[in-house]
Amino acid sequence: MLARILSNDYPRNRVLAVLLVAILLALAFTPFIFPGVKALNVAAKVLVFVVLVASFDLLLGYTGIVSFAHTMFFGIGAYGVAIASTRMGPGWSAIVVGVVVALALSFVLALAVGLFSLRVRAIFFSMITLAVASAFQTLASQLSDITGGEDGLTFKMPEVLSPGFQWSETPFLGASLDGRLICYYLLFALSLLLLLALLRIVNSPFGRVLQAIRENEFRAEAIGYRVVVYRTMSSILSALFATLAGAMLAIWLRYNGPETSLSFEIMLDVLLIVVIGGMGTIYGAAIGAALFLVAQSYLQDLLKLASDAASGLPWLSALLSPDRWLLWLGLLFVLSVYYFPTGIVGRLRAMRASA
């Protein structure tokens, strides 16, 4: 049973398994163990990013394609829900229409990008996606009549998902039983489902071919696989999953704008999470997303403590100032490449192999 759910792809390391279960439980009970608005927001963001990062891992870790246009699809999903909810008014039908239209648009764009990818060298392709993604972001902010421009769109969700909806007056274990809670568990279920689906995909015959292409494209073609088709399909699939992640984000935030779902910064975060978690292991996405987002969300708080503690040394306290949080994020990029070349999952699994 478990084998079937996990598609026969076990964590293959005890520490890893414990870590995964811990994250699963923590996310499942966040509203009750970590009360507060901030904790819930962080947890919801983790849920969204787990899907987003795992979908990127399908592309990067399994197919070996470095694309910077992944946030473009993330943004399309978020804008789909946002625009539909703005135009049609809050409601489930708006969400459905938004998601479906977004999926269709992502499909077409991913197909085009995927087909183009075959004409040029891999790094050229990455740079092209970088340019396309930045152009798309500018386009989104220019089409302000539809997208709300730089300011983005603020919209409402169906009543049951709104904070205004109270289904019990008395809080349970410190969490108020309102629409936010329902919305959170909706995301939780979606996230789990999509993650398991991705696990299935990468462990299917299809997923194996993707890995073969990553390893040796020339030989994959030579033993009878049409690399074009598989690559394109992988691009499309990963784009569709990213679109869904975007929709989840919009549902949670009830806001969307270019900075929120299209920015290059998000792309970088995703890239870093994949690498920290471990490329080519869907589990890495879950672990990486949880660790990174929690760290990122509390980094400034942490730095504040540190810089207060170091107030005796002015230059150190200047470097530790919460305003310089990016400096530490940058350092994290560098250190992760130094010390986690195979990511957390790779590290843990290697420990088992040598033990």
Contacts (CB under 8 A) with other proteins, residues 303-342? 318-319, 322-327, 329-334, 336-338, 341
Residues 332 and 293: beta-carbon distance below 8 Å: no
- In the shown chain, the binding pattern of residues 41 to 80 toward other proteins, with x for contact by CB under 8 A and - for none, equals x------------------x-----x--------------
Q: Considering the complex, what minimum distance in angstroms separates the CB of residue 144 from other proteins? A: 4
Of 5, 22, 127, 173, the one binding other proteins (CB under 8 A) is 127
For position 225 contacting other proteins by CB under 8 A, the verdict is: yes
> Which tokens sit at 61?
């870790």
- Residue 97, strand partner residues: none
Query: Contacts with other proteins: how many residues (CB under 8 A)?
Result: 89
Nearer to other proteins, 18 or 337 (CB): 337
Q: What is the residue type of 183? A: C
Instruction: Locate the DSSP E strands across the chain.
Output: 153-154, 255-256
Instruction: Pick between residue 22 and residue 171 the one whose CB is nearest to other proteins.
Output: 171
Q: Please name which of 193, 183, 181, 239 lies closest in space to residue 63, comparing C-alpha atoms.
A: 239
CB of 330 to other proteins, least distance (A): 3
Taking the C-alpha atoms of residue 231 and residue 331, their distance in angstroms, rounded to an integer, is: 33
Q: Which two tokens stand for residue 182?
A: 């329902």
Work out how close the CB of 23 gets to other proteins at its nearest, in angstroms, rounded to a whole number: 21
In angstroms, rounded to a whole number, what is the distance separating the alpha carbons of residues 94 and 157? 9
State the DSSP string of 47-99: HHHHHHHHHHHIIIIIT----S-HHHHHHHHHHHHHHHHHHH-SSHHHHHHHH
Contact call for residue 229 and other proteins (CB under 8 A)? yes
Binding to other proteins by residue 171, rule CB under 8 A?
A: no
Q: Is the Cβ–Cβ distance between 86 and 147 less than 8 Å? A: no
Q: Which stretch binds other proteins (CB under 8 A): 23-31, 216-224, 239-247, 305-313?
A: 216-224
Which residues in 275-304 contact other proteins (CB under 8 A)? Answer: 275, 300
H or E element, residue 37: helix 37-57
DSSP conformational letter for 311: T
Closest CA to 253 of 54, 32, 45, 31: 45
Using the minimum distance from each CB to other proteins, give the nearer residue, 22 or 139.
139
Judge contact between 134 and 242, C-beta under 8 A.
no
- 2 vs 119, which CB is nearer to other proteins? 119
The 10 Å Cβ neighbour count of residue 305 is 11
Least distance to other proteins, CB of residue 188, Å: 18
Among 22, 25, 100, 150, binds other proteins (CB under 8 A): 150
Residue 151 within binding range of other proteins, rule CB under 8 A: yes
Q: Tell me, what amino acid is at 304?
A: K
**Does position 222 bind other proteins by CB under 8 A?**
yes
Q: Is 219 in the site for other proteins (CB under 8 A)?
A: yes
In the complex, least distance from residue 171 CB atom to other proteins, rounded to whole angstroms: 13
The residue among 209, 267, 281, 299 whose CA lies nearest residue 75 is 267
Binding mask 195-214 for other proteins (x = CB under 8 A): -----xx--xxxxxx-xx--
Residue 168 interacts with other proteins (CB under 8 A)? no
Near other proteins in 233-262, by CB under 8 A? 233, 253-255, 257, 259-260
- Residues in 87-116 at the binding interface with other proteins, rule: CB under 8 A: 116
Residue 355 CB partners (closer than 8 Å, separation 6+) = none
